[in-house]
Amino acid sequence: MRSKLTVALGGLAAVAMMAATHVPVSAHPAHDLSNPGTMPLKGRTYDGVVDAVSPGGVPMEAMSDVRCEDGMAGIFPCHKVDLASFTPLPDMEATFVNDLWGWEDGQTGMQLAIVGTFEGTAFIDVTNGSDPVYLGTLESEVPGDSGNIWGDVRVYEDTAYIGSEAIDLGTYVPETGELEGFGVQVVDLTQFRGATGPIDVQLTNHIDDMTNSHNISLNEDSGRMYVVGAVYNLAVCGSPNPGFPVLNGNGGAIVYDVATDPNNPEFIGCLTEDGYSHDIQCVEYAGPDADYTGREICIGSNEDTVTIYDATDPEEPVLIDRLSYVDEEQAQDIYTHQGWLSEDQSFFFLGDELDEINGVVTERSTYIWDLTDLDDASLVGTHTDGNTSIDHNMFVKDSLLYQANYTSGLWIYDTWKKEQGRVQMRGFFDVFPADDRTEFYGSWGTYPYFGDGKVVVTSSDEGVFVLESRAKSSEGPATASRGRSQR
């Protein structure tokens, strides 16, 4: 297996090479396990203090119903995207937020934003986007650990799955490498039905197969959950690593069946053929390559390559291809971070989290891959638009690419000319109005799947924005996802 990159995701430290043949790697600097009493913060300048005005120039005061007119919505630069509401960190009992996902209750119509925070996971009713209601926080499994800066959430039917980088240094046993951590929290979301204010959020189940994790992905069509970027206790998924935390695991995806019993996920396999995965998207394939129709195809953002798997049999997955986009000298200065398939599964839009800050590129770049032939994929274009911010997480809905870009906020691109390796800006909302510096402040995640133009965006030092988009694709809504797998 090749060398992998150990980097600071929020880009918060230097890039270092590390052999991954039998070594669990991480997207971030590790805790000092030789001195388990220390708890170095992995986030850039995070100190647990919320200032009256954020680093992005946003007052810690709730806002609502500010229309985007003449390029501004109040203090926020914008284009065709209005501010429905802003919930500042103090109003959700948080000091820092990271990623998010959403849940729409099929019984009541409630729309819930599920937001990772340093303190745990916050639940916000955004059914009325102009009047969000904070419903409480589920405390982290490892309160206070610096790893809580990184968290992720996914939902299957009425159940949420929550992961985090947090580990419990107090449990570390140097002689064996054993270490406990956040694992994955399982939460039955029906407990929020009828809630009109904060409730005592109940944990439904807990998965301790892994110490910690970086991301969670979920194919809603097949009912499979993929936990990535983890070190873990499952010997079947890795080789022993004496002296390293939890002895085994290289950060490849751990696969669970959540369809049979959503509140009790069942381990069914792992994708370790290409080492550490920072993020992954898996679909029941219905794209143009007939050789793979109906297969469980996964696209991994694996630190230095885009990696394509056939995971139909999770006990014996097949690595289809590994795709590079820089030369060998530049490989240490990039980080293949996250991406998303077009709704016809023909193209893949990729963000690299270190190419801007390390000077590989001079402006924000989105890489566009042609996957019409999964065995012979190719890079067909790189979109740039002069902005100096760093791109982060992105998703596709109705042929629009919703991209969270740290200091420049939410940007919405029309993908209708993807065959030409192009996307076109249709709207934006800058949640970090102070500047567009090339640093890891501002927008972390975006969730565009509630419909009716509602988009929820997190900004790490600010809070949660509910936005209303008026952006449209030239292709129109007819290209919308055929099934739930695109989410």
Q: Tell me how far the alpha carbon of residue 229 is from its chain's centroid.
A: 12
Mean pLDDT, to the nearest integer, of 364-378?
97
Minimal CA–CA distance to 349: which of 394, 310, 389? 394
Torsion from C-alpha of 389, 85, 449, 102, nearest 10 degrees: 100
Sign of the CA dihedral with 358 first, then 302, 293, and 152 last:
negative
**Is residue 245 over pLDDT 70?**
no
Please report, rounded to a whole number, the percentage of residues in the chain having pLDDT higher than 70: 84
pLDDT digits (tens, 9 = 90+) for 77-122: 999 999 999 999 999 999 999 999 999 999 999 999 999 999 999 9
How high is the pLDDT of residue 44?
Answer: 57
Is residue 391 predicted with pLDDT exceeding 50?
A: yes
Q: What is the pLDDT of residue 179?
A: 79
Residue 462 φ/ψ, nearest 5 degrees: -115, -65
Judged against a pLDDT cut of 50, whether residue 252 lies above it is answered with yes
Question: What is the predicted pLDDT for the residue at 230?
Answer: 84
Structure token pair of residue 6: 């150990």
For all residues of the chain together, what is the average pLDDT? Answer: 87
Q: Average pLDDT, stretch 51-78?
A: 97
Asked whether residue 6 carries a pLDDT value surpassing 70, the answer given is no
Domains assigned to the chain: 4-33+68-486 (2.130.10.10)
State residue 453's pLDDT score. 87
| Predicted confidence (pLDDT) per residue in 9-23, tens digit | 332 222 222 222 223
